[in-house]
Amino acid sequence: MTIRPPLTPLAESLPSTVPFVGPETQERAAGRPFRARLGANENGFGPSPKAITAMENAAHHVWKYGDPESSDLRAALAQEHGVKPENIVVGEGIDGLLGLIARLYIEPGTPVVTSLGGYPTFNYHVVGFGGRLVPVPYSGDHENLEGLRDAAFAEKAPLVYFANPDNPMGTWWEADEVQRFIESLPETSMLILDEAYGETAPASALPRFEPDRPNVLRMRTFSKAYALAGMRCGYAIGEAQTIRAFDKIRNHFGMPGITQAASLAALQDKAYFQETLKKISASRERIAAIAAANGLASVPSATNFVAVDCGGKAIAEAVMQGLLDRDVFVRKPATPGLDRCIRVSVGPEIEMDVFEQAFAEALAAAHNQR
């Protein structure tokens, strides 16, 4: 028997799993690449050419650590959102920031309110720090604001997580409803308002920023609308004292200069950004049209993906597997009530063409198996 240094009891109790199996892992298992990469909610339309130029220029300086304050990027983001730089912390994607938030607010046994079937990476961080998840079922295809609020009060939860627009269904609440939800929460509950898809949502879904409110953290990212997922750049907007708390635990040299340069250039290229939003909207419409042409409904989406209602869990699983067998990468929710759907990310026309043919074939094969 090999003797080794022991893990902590908490680490020993955790499963050796990841929230998502990456497409590269699936490609290695299949021995061939996907023809259409439509499962990771990336932006297949690509980043601004100005961002690429910024990366090329910054590549000459990768021997340097990046600015630990992300000063230029924070200043530009502050101007973009009408807040101050001290209201913003930049981190390694929203995922990295969620891990820091869990570390700041969670001890073993801490109750954390979230939606049953919501973003699993948040759950991964909560469990990793010993928190106790309090899941609230969806109401229809929407996160249940009333249920989340009631659970926050009942559990005296220091953390409440809510995504608007939502992943995995793509639905959203209007800003006035979100604002009422914010104001209804206990002052001792920190709301993590995940707006990873905020740029692809209607403006009416985004409440105004309140940089002096101490119990709300608004999360944004360059991974979706700006097509910089591989750069790993996200940020949180909140009250200045709350933001300063991140300095206690963050990786101060975690943001490479090349990432900061790319993100800043992407933020400044407004024309390209608007063109990308048009492409995302058109691709959402095409996915919905493909579903309708095959006799299926889709869930209205404010994100860069569309949930296609296949009519039940078994048929949805068969369709997803059929697409994977045809080298089209998609994913699906696993939670009862949501698991009737597959989730298809937007993409270039060439990949939509591949999806259109493969989807019809996979759906027909799934029905023939029944």
- State pLDDT tens for residues 121-142: 999 999 999 999 999 999 999 9
Quick one: pLDDT at residue 18? 78
Q: In what order do the strands lie in the sheet with 88-91?
A: 88-91, 234-237, 216-221, 190-194, 159-163, 111-115, 132-136
CATH of domain 20-46+271-369: 3.90.1150.10
Alpha-carbon distance of 244 to 251, in angstroms, equals 13
CB atoms closer than 10 angstroms to residue 289 = 13
- For the chain, the residue count is 370
What residue type is assigned to position 113 of the chain?
V
Predicted pLDDT of residue 16: 85
pLDDT means over runs of 10, the chain (370 residues): 92 86 92 96 97 98 97 98 98 97 97 96 96 97 98 98 98 98 98 98 97 97 97 98 97 96 98 98 98 98 98 97 97 96 98 98 91
CA 310, CA 294: separation in Å to the nearest integer?
A: 10
**Distance from C-alpha of 244 to C-alpha of 248, rounded to nearest angstrom:** 8
49-268: CATH number: 3.40.640.10
Task: Give the pLDDT confidence score for residue 17 in this predicted structure.
Answer: 79
| Of the candidates 47, 13, 38, the residue with the CA atom closest to the CA atom of residue 263 | 47
Residues carrying CATH 3.90.1150.10, the chain:
20-46+271-369
Instruction: Return the pLDDT at 257.
Output: 97
Can you give 87-146 as a three-state secondary structure string? Answer: HEEEECHHHHHHHHHHHHHCCCCCEEEEECCCCHHHHHHHHHCCCEEEEECCECCECCHH
Residue 21 confidence (pLDDT)? 86
CA 301, CA 291: separation in Å to the nearest integer? 14
pTM as predicted = 0.95
Beta bridge pairs of residue 342: 308
Give φ, ψ of 30 to 5 degrees.
Answer: -80, -20
Contacts of 246-250 with CB under 8 Å at 24 or more apart are: 246/89, 246/91, 246/97, 246/100, 246/104, 248/104, 249/100, 249/103, 249/104, 250/89, 250/91, 250/100
234-237 and 111-115 strand pairing: unpaired
The predicted structure's pLDDT at residue 369: 81
DSSP string, 153-166: HHHT-SEEEEESS-
pLDDT at 19: 79
Positions of CATH 3.40.640.10 in the chain = 49-268
pLDDT of residue 368: 87
**CA-closest candidate to residue 119, choices 100, 104, 138, 105:** 138
